[in-house]
Structure 1
Amino acid sequence: MLSITNLVKRYGKQNAVDDITFELGGGEVVGLLGPNGAGKSTTMKCIVGLLRKTSGEIIIGGHDHLSVAAKRLFSYIPETPYVYDLLTVREHLQFIAQAYDVKDWKGKAQDLLDLYELDDKADKLGRDLSKGMRQKVSICCALLPDPQVLFFDEPMIGLDPKAIKNTRQVFRDLKNQGKTILVSTHLIDSVESIADRIMILKSGKIIGNDTIANLKTQMMQSEASTLEDLFLELTKDEGN
């Protein structure tokens, strides 16, 4: 569903994303990990078209990532949730339903409001929402069109424990439906139990791309070691 070939994003002489290539298939949850400044958010923004790539090819569902056909296939949840100040929570969902021509959307919208405990906030304006509630609205809007590919950039930031648990279950349900999910996060334990594969970025390059079990074998780490141990080992500076 997603194919990235030789992607480069350069700022001046610095490559924020440095010639990376990878693919994601249907029914796959992939965790994108990396230290601050590794290029995770830049990669995501290039894929969804918020940043113009310097070079390389990005294909979503067989279409160029900037085409309307590709944009119909995916949803993007940014690290900083953006909502419209003068739309209510329910009007956000109505707007998305109309934009994506979602039929019989009201029932699904209500289910999402119930899941994220937003029903009693449905008539609140966007400007009056806390960051956590904005994040919940952002996730609900992304799920409503039933996209084939979902890009989550730090989805758990600002969510309460119950919403985090529900979001993990949403990931599992989407995976079972054959959806493709790319999750960028600093919260390593939030993806350890749900990711089929882990990609680790460092200085704009992919330094690991495999299942957790295989990465542990490659790094000669024990099965008892955690994803956090593996991450710290892979991303440590030379000489440390």
Structure 2
Amino acid sequence: MLEVKGLVKRFQKQLAVDQLDARLEGGEVVGLLGPNGAGKSTTIKCIVGLLRKDAGEIYIGGHDHLSLEAKRLFAYIPETPNVYDLLTIDDHLKFIAQAYSLTHWQPYAEELLEAYDLLDKRDKLGRDLSKGMRQKVSICCALLHDPQVLFFDEPMIGLDPKAIRQTKLIFKQLKEKGKTILVSTHLIDSVEHIADRVMIMKAGKVVHNDTVASLREQYSGDALSSLEDLFLELTKDA
């Protein structure tokens, strides 16, 4: 569902993403990990079209990532959720429904609001929402049109423990439906038990791309090693 070939992104003289290749299949959850400045958010922003790439090819569902066909297939949940100050939570969902020409969307919207404890807050304006509530609204809006590919950039930041647990459950449900999910995060334990594999970035490159079990076998020899331990070992300076 997602194919990235030779992605390059520069900011003036700084090479932020260096010849990155990636391929994600349907029904796959992939964790995108790396220290600050590794290029994770830049990579996702290039994929979804928020940043102009300097080189490379990106395809979503076989379509160029900037095409209308590709944009219908994916949803993007940014690290810093943006909501409209003068729209209520309900208005945000209605806006998404109209933008995607959705029909019979209300029952699913109700399910999402209930899952994230927003039913009694549906009339709150965007300007009155906390960061955590904005994140919940952002996730609900992203899921409403039933995308095939989802890009999450630090989805757990600002969420309370119940919402984090709910988001992990949603990841599992989406995977079972054959959706493709790329999750960029610093909260490594949030993807350890849901990711089919992890891509670890360092200095703009993917330095490791494998299952957690395989990385444990290759680099620690300890089946009980946490993903956090592996990450710190694999990204430490030589």
Q: Same fold (TM over 0.5)?
A: yes
Secondary structure in 2 matching 1:18 = strand
Shift of 1:170: 0.1
**Do structure 1's residue 148 and structure 2's residue 148 form an aligned pair?**
yes
For residue 78 of structure 1, what is the amino acid of its counterpart? P
Structure 1 SS opposite 2:43: helix
RMSD: 0.6
Stretches (4+) displaced over 6 A: none
- How far the C-alpha of 1:220 sits from its partner, in A, is 3.9
Does structure 1 conserve the Cα–Cα contact (< 8 Å) formed by 2:220 and 2:230? no
Q: Which residue of 1 aligns with 2:16?
A: 16
Tell me, what secondary structure is at the counterpart of 1:237? Answer: coil
Match of 2:210 in 1: 210
Cα distance in 2 for residues equivalent to 1:162 and 1:237? 36
Does the Cα contact within 8 Å between 2:38 and 2:201 map onto a contact in 1?
yes
Q: Secondary structure of 2:56's partner?
A: strand
Q: How does 1:49-198 map to 2 (within 5 A)?
A: 49-198=49-198
- Cα distance in structure 1, aligned partners of 2:54 and 2:216: 33
Conservation of the 8 A alpha-carbon contact between 1:221 and 1:230: no
2:36 is aligned with what amino acid? N
Aligned counterparts of 1:220 and 1:48: Cα–Cα separation in 2: 35
Task: Tell me how far apart the structure 1 counterparts of residues 51 and 156 of structure 2 sit (CA, whole Å).
Answer: 23
The amino acid that maps onto 1:58 is I
How many residues align structurally? 238
> In structure 1, what is the Cα distance between the partners aligned to 2:101 and 2:145?
8
Q: Give the secondary structure class of the aligned counterpart of 2:191.
A: helix
Query: Greater CA deviation, 220-229 or 204-213?
Result: 220-229
Which letter maps to 1:25?
E
1:5 corresponding residue in structure 2: 5
Higher deviation after alignment, 191-200 or 217-226: 217-226
Q: Kindly provide the amino acid, as one letter, of the partner of residue 119 in structure 1.
A: L
Is the contact between residue 6 and residue 21 of structure 2 (CA under 8 Å) also seen in structure 1? yes
2:46 maps to amino acid? C
8 Å CA contact 2:29, 2:182 repeated in 1: yes
User: How far apart are 1:13 and its partner, in Å?
Assistant: 2.0
Q: Any gaps of 5 or more consecutive residues in structure 1?
A: none
Given that 2:5 and 2:21 are in contact with CA atoms closer than 8 Å, whether structure 1 keeps it comes out as yes
Q: Is the 8 A contact 1:154 1:184 kept in 2?
A: yes
CA distance in 2, matches of 1:19, 1:51: 16
- Counterpart residue type for residue 171 of structure 2: F
Q: Give percent identity, aligned residues only.
A: 71
CA distance in 2, matches of 1:169, 1:132: 18
TM-aligned CA deviation for residue 123 of structure 1? 0.4
